Structure formats: structure tokens, C-alpha cells
Amino acid sequence: MRYQVKDRIIAIGDDSWIEDEQGRNAFLLDGKALRLRQTYELRESDGRTLFVIKKKVVAVRETMIVERDGDTVASVHKKILHLIHDRFAIELHDGTEWTAKGDFLDKEYEIEGERGRIASISRKWLRLRDTYTVDIPDDLDHSLVLAVSVAIDNLAEIGRDH
């Protein structure tokens, strides 16, 4: 399944729809303003909150956590050692690890796990510069992969600002 994501979704206080390949509003990303730390909610189109994505307050390196019903389901941070491309480590609650590698600022990267490709993120084929696509195999939890992608985007923007 391919989703289109607005590039400016990581602005705190902004809401943005993530559209499916038919152009329907599939998920709402709600940027929460007036919070002590960067926080976003990924919601279904009916408004039900699926995940809360937020910056970890105390961490050795910049980290975003993804929570479902108050429980951490994923932790995302930039790997310390990277030779050619930036890399992010994604640790899932079940012990599974994913890695994201590529060009994060230009939104050209892949998320991979033990089973292979988890998602491809690209704005290569889009005319609108503020939009990128996330391609996810049908047998994965699309909302979790999108939440992880939002966390990566946020951390990449933090890296750009420093």
C-alpha cells in the first residue's frame, strides 16, 4: 500500500491527513501544541488514537518513542556510527530491530528488518515538493510503520537544526 504524507506534518500544532493510494484520508496526524516535549498522535480517520509519538525527555541521544495505549511499542534513535549514510535504529517492544538508512532530509530512505524491506520512503516521483510516499507491504501494520516514519522525520529535522 502506498500512502502520501505531507512533509510539514512534523510542525507542532499542525494537523495533516495521510492519504492512501486512492486519495482517501486514511490517518490523521495531530501535532500537539503546548506540550513540554514534541508530541504527535496518529489517529484513524474516525478519530481513534492509534499511536502517540513523542520525544524522550532524558536520553543520551535524541530519541523518539512510539506508544500504544500508554505502552512503548517502538523506540527510534540515530545510530552513533554511520560511515556513508545516516542510519536510524528502531527497537520494537517484541525485541525485533529495524534499521532505516538513506537520505532522510530528502526523504529517500528504506526501513529494513529481519524479513527484508519494511517500507520505502520517497518523494522521487512526486511533483509536489512538500509530499512524499511511504510504500508498505500489505502484511505489515501500516499505522506502526507510519508512526515510525514520523519519528524518523522528526529526528532528521532535529539533526538539520543542529
Q: What rounded mean pLDDT belongs to the chain?
A: 85
Question: Which band of pLDDT confidence, cut at 50, 70 and 90, is reported for residue 162?
Answer: very low
Given this model, what pLDDT does residue 132 score? 87
By residue range, what is the domain housing residue 126? 2-161
pLDDT digits (tens, 9 = 90+) for 69-112: 999 999 999 886 655 566 899 999 999 999 999 988 788 999 99
How many residues in total does the chain contain? 162
Long-range contacts of 81-89 (CB under 8 A, 24+ apart): 85/109, 86/156, 86/159, 88/152, 88/155
Place of cell 524522550: 56
What is the rounded distance in angstroms from the CA atom of residue 148 to the CA atom of residue 150?
5
Q: Is the pLDDT reported for residue 59 higher than 50? A: yes
Give residues with Cβ within 8 angstroms of 77, minimum separation 6: 59, 61, 62, 63, 64, 88, 89, 155
Q: Is the pLDDT reported for residue 128 higher than 70? A: no
CATH for 30: 2.40.160.200
17-21, 106-110, 125-129, 133-137: which has the minimum mean pLDDT?
125-129
**Coil vs helix vs strand at 155:** helix
Given this model, what pLDDT does residue 33 score? 60
Domain count, the chain: 1
